[in-house]
Amino acid sequence: MTKFQRFLLKRFAISVLLTLIAVSVIFVVLRLLPGSPFEALVTSGNLNQEQITEIRSMYGLDEPMWKQYVNYLTSLLTFQFGYSILRSQPVWTVLEPRLINSLILLVPALVTTAILSSLLGMYAGWNRGSRLEKFSIVSTTLLRSTPVFITAIGFIIVFAYNFEIVPALGMRSIRATPDSYLETFVSLDFLHHYILPFTVAVLYYSGDFLLLARNGVVEKRGSEFLKLHRAKGLTEMQQLARAGRNSMLPILTYFTLRLGMIFQGLILLEVVFSWPGIGRELVLAIQQQDYPLVQAAVFIMALAVILANLAADVLYAYFDPTVSTNGGGAT
């Protein structure tokens, strides 16, 4: 086994361990919550105690805790997430369209801001001390440090209620009845609802990419290889292109990590805009203590983060020879 293969095996084992910890924590936390998913139904008179007992048995909630835990892990390993308690549907049937709705919103926003903010950051770094650099750093840092729901509410007030340019909430109008994903996402109605949350997501992500790109170019600007290129007669833009290309590794690594964490930072964005994504569904499921739905949603999110971390580690070790696969820097 080569050194790189041992490195991959070690990182994979760590990823499996982290996934196990994440899903175990959510299993324990859910069962420590006060109340149960059936209290509201009992209070409203929709179910009696006999029916509750029957449903608890059907979902295995009357089993000992260790047996529930084993069944839970088995269901995750086989991707059989069971049935939602309150929706009476398979969990994956509930989560699949929400997951797609989230990805349709967040992935294009992340890719757009990664490209635009990185280019702007490189140009600002090359023109260090300019007004553009100061303005871009201050504005994006302000947007990044402001909670996303505050920015979202501000945009709704200005562009939806004052100027009435775009709808405030939802992913499509109430009267729309699309029969497929294509009809849903390829329509003016969807685009109209999409603009506002997409813009807020792009602005929220922009600060990190801009600073990474700007710092990378500032660091490379005085390097020997650029002096050599300058001596060869390359123009300023050609030198900037080479400096930008050599500072791409941290940006690619951060993009990979951010892609895995795409849901976590923007759950509130979906809640504010009533966007029917997996983040909003998770919040509703936690409020209703719908254990199978919460467990599956958290598992999907945790798995995305851990796989992204694994990919970032592997990419860094593969592309940067100064990074040792033993976990430290090269000697």
Does residue 325 surpass a pLDDT of 60? Answer: no
Q: What is the mean pLDDT of residues 4-16?
A: 78
Calpha distance 256→209 (Å, rounded): 12
The mean pLDDT value of the chain amounts to: 79
Task: Name the residue with higher pLDDT: 36 or 57.
Answer: 57
Predicted confidence at residue 324, as pLDDT, reads 53
**The pLDDT of residue 323 is above 60:** no
Cα R_g (the chain), whole angstroms? 24
pLDDT value of residue 42: 63
Predicted confidence (pLDDT) per residue in 198-240, tens digit = 998 888 888 888 888 888 888 777 777 777 777 777 777 777 7
Distance (Å, rounded) from C-alpha 135 to C-alpha 174?
Answer: 41
Instruction: Give tens-digit pLDDT for 262-290.
Output: 766 677 888 888 888 888 888 888 877 77
For the stretch 286-310, pLDDT in tens is: 877 777 888 888 888 878 777 777 7
Return the amino acid letter for 253.
T
Quote the DSSP letter at residue 265.
Answer: G
Dig out the tokens for 271 from the structure. 């809640």
| Closest to 121 (Cα-Cα) out of 200, 212, 203 | 212
The token pair at 305 is 């983060």
* Contact partners, residue 79, CB within 8 Å, separation at least 6: 92
Positive or negative: CA dihedral 166, 169, 173, 177: positive
> Is the model more confident about 39 or about 99?
99
Q: What is the pLDDT of residues 60-70, one digit of tens each?
A: 777 788 888 88
Burial of 327 (0-12, 13-18, 19+ CB in 10 A): exposed
Asked if pLDDT for residue 330 goes beyond 50, the answer is no
For the entire predicted model, the pTM comes to 0.75
pLDDT the model gives residue 264: 67
Q: Percentage of residues in the chain with pLDDT exceeding 90?
A: 0
Beta bridge partners of 323: 329
As a whole number of Å, the end-to-end CA separation of the chain is 22
Q: What is the reported pLDDT for 328?
A: 46
Which three-class secondary structure state does DSSP give residue 60?
coil
Contact 94, 81 (CB under 8 A): no
Q: Please report, rounded to a whole number, the percentage of residues in the chain having pLDDT higher than 70.
A: 87
Give the pLDDT confidence of 29-41 residue by residue, as tens digits.
Answer: 777 766 666 666 6
Confidence grade of residue 145 (pLDDT, cut at 50, 70, 90):
confident
User: How many other CB atoms are found less than 10 A from the CB of residue 102?
Assistant: 25
Q: How far is CA 117 from CA 120, 132, 196, in A?
A: 5, 13, 19
What average pLDDT score do residues 132-137 get?
84
Q: What are phi and psi of 177, to 5 degrees?
A: -130, 65
Query: Is the pLDDT confidence value at 88 over 60?
Result: yes
